[in-house]
């Protein structure tokens, strides 16, 4: 890979993609880390969605509550790991634990493939796993790259996630018959292991390419963070900046949950066959990831550098507020599909890279412990509360009213994104002043 970066072709690729000399191996490693992680996850995601509907749409809020409780139980364990392991070993150790879990579920599904409680346990486990695993991958990037690099590279590297999101459902569809659900879980474990290897290679790249304001990374990343297992929560409560990110994430998860419940309701009404449901979910995933890749490669980085991170955080909430109002006027599956695709593609291509850029100006403990607390406990807490709110609105009134409430939440989400975007800009200027 180093030979490519030094060749004439490598230099041309670098200019085309706005890369600095020597960054091609880092981008390739980040792309591989996300591609492998998301390929393994998205092979299993359509199966999880079908399992959720199988238990009854009216019971989804219980699965969301179970997921939140499981996330609360997982956080002290993750905090303990982050306290005793060096930063560059947190991801490999956590992923190794998840690999063992996947093989355990594979064995359980092979023995009792139709057991409803195994299905529910897997639904909850995958919902906890995906947040922790993805958050950790982004923590590695925030740890390795400084803000100026992040604005240029994060969206491009996130393209690996979208490519994996395209490849995973295709592999799942092609392989589910010959190898079954248990085989898919075992294959996902292999992809997850390879993703951890790619993350370790990223740290080695940074060791060979230190930057002036992060010269101690190679030494510090080999030391444990220390502290207590609950430091992530306390850091959020002590910092107005991190608290603002937490509020942003709660609003994001609330909007997502409202649309998720509406999707489940309309899919169950329009496509009663479980096989057809899985196909619909897979088709939506394919469209979402295709749009995300194009946006990530050609738009997101330019928007971040020229207009600022705040634009990445505000644009999608404003669009989704309009989408909720459209759904209130025309509550049909076709409209829901358009809004859902816009929400998810916008989140992957704009909101998620922008949200992760916010962490490049905080310390190592915040990048791992506080960030993971926000990405898991705060996110799933927002899921659980908004799931019960959505269910209550559906029971006491017309679903149209829930869509109007969703539009209001989306506008508050946009306002919060604007505020933390301005706060990040002030922090970035302060970092640059100290470096000067």
Q: Can you list the domains of the chain with their CATH numbers?
A: 2-435 (1.20.1250.20)
- Which structure tokens are listed for 26? 């880092």
pLDDT in tens, 179-229: 888 888 999 999 999 999 999 999 999 888 787 654 444 456 566 665 556
**pLDDT confidence of residue 150:** 83
State which residues of the chain have pLDDT below 70. Answer: 1-21, 49-60, 212-229, 274-275, 278, 434-436
pLDDT of the residue at 216: 47
Q: What is the pLDDT of residues 151-174, one digit of tens each?
A: 888 878 888 888 898 898 888 878
**Per-residue confidence (pLDDT) for residue 13, from 0 to 100:** 57
**188 vs 376: CA distance, rounded Å:** 21
**pLDDT of res. 326:** 96
Do 181 and 50 meet the contact criterion of CB atoms below 8 Å apart? no
The pTM of this model reads: 0.77
* Residues 124-157 as b or e (16 or more Cβ within 10 Å = b): bbbbbbbbbbbbbbbbbbbbbbbbebbbbbbbbb
Buried b (16+ CB within 10 A) or exposed e, 36-46: bbbbbbbbbbb
| pLDDT value for 242 | 95
Torsion angles phi and psi, residue 224, rounded to 5: -65, 150
Q: Which residues of 249-281 are buried (b: 16+ CB within 10 A; e: fewer)?
A: bbbbbbbbbbbbbbbbbbbeeebeeeeebbbbb
């Amino acid at each position: 890979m180093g030979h490519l970066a030094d060749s004439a072709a490598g230099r041309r690729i670098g200019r085309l993609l706005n890369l600095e000399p020597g960054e091609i191996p880092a981008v390739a490693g980040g792309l591989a880390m996300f591609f492998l992680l998301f390929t393994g996850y998205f092979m299993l995601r359509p199966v999880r969605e079908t399992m959720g509907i199988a238990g009854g749409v009216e019971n989804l809020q219980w699965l969301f509550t179970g997921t939140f409780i499981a996330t609360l139980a997982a956080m002290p364990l993750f905090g303990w790991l982050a306290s005793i392991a060096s930063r560059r070993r947190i991801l490999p150790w956590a992923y190794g634990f998840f690999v063992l879990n996947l093989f355990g579920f594979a064995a359980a599904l092979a023995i009792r493939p139709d057991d409803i409680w195994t299905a529910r346990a897997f639904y909850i486990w995958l919902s906890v796993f995906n947040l922790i695993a993805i958050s950790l991958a982004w923590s590695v990037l925030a740890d390795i790259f400084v803000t100026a690099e992040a604005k240029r590279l994060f969206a491009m590297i996130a393209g690996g996630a979208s490519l994996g999101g395209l490849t995973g459902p295709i592999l799942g569809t092609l392989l589910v018959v010959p190898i079954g659900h248990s085989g898919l879980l075992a294959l996902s474990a292999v992809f997850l292991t390879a993703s951890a290897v790619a993350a370790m290679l990223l740290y080695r790249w940074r060791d060979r390419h230190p930057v002036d304001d992060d010269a101690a990374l190679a030494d510090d990343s080999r030391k444990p963070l220390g502290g207590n297992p609950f430091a992530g929560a306390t850091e959020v409560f002590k910092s107005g900046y991190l608290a603002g990110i937490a509020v942003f994430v709660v609003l994001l998860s609330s909007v997502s949950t409202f649309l998720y419940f509406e999707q489940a309701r309309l899919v169950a009404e329009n496509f009663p066959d479980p096989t057809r449901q899985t196909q619909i979910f897979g088709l939506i995933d394919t469209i979402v990831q295709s749009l995300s890749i194009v946006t990530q490669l050609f738009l997101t980085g330019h928007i971040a550098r020229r207009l600022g991170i705040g634009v990445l955080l505000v644009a999608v909430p404003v669009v989704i507020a309009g989408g909720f109002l459209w759904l209130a006027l025309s509550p049909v599956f076709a409209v829901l599909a358009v809004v859902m695709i816009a929400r998810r593609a916008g989140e992957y291509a704009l909101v998620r890279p922008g949200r992760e850029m916010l962490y490049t100006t905080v310390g190592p403990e915040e990048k791992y412990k506080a960030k993971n607390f926000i990405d898991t406990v705060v996110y799933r807490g927002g899921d659980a509360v908004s799931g019960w709110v959505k269910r209550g609105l559906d029971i006491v009134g017309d679903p149209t009213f829930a869509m109007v409430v969703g539009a209001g939440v989306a506008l508050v989400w946009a306002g919060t994104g604007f505020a933390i975007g301005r706060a990040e800009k002030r922090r970035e200027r302060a970092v640059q002043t100290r470096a000067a």
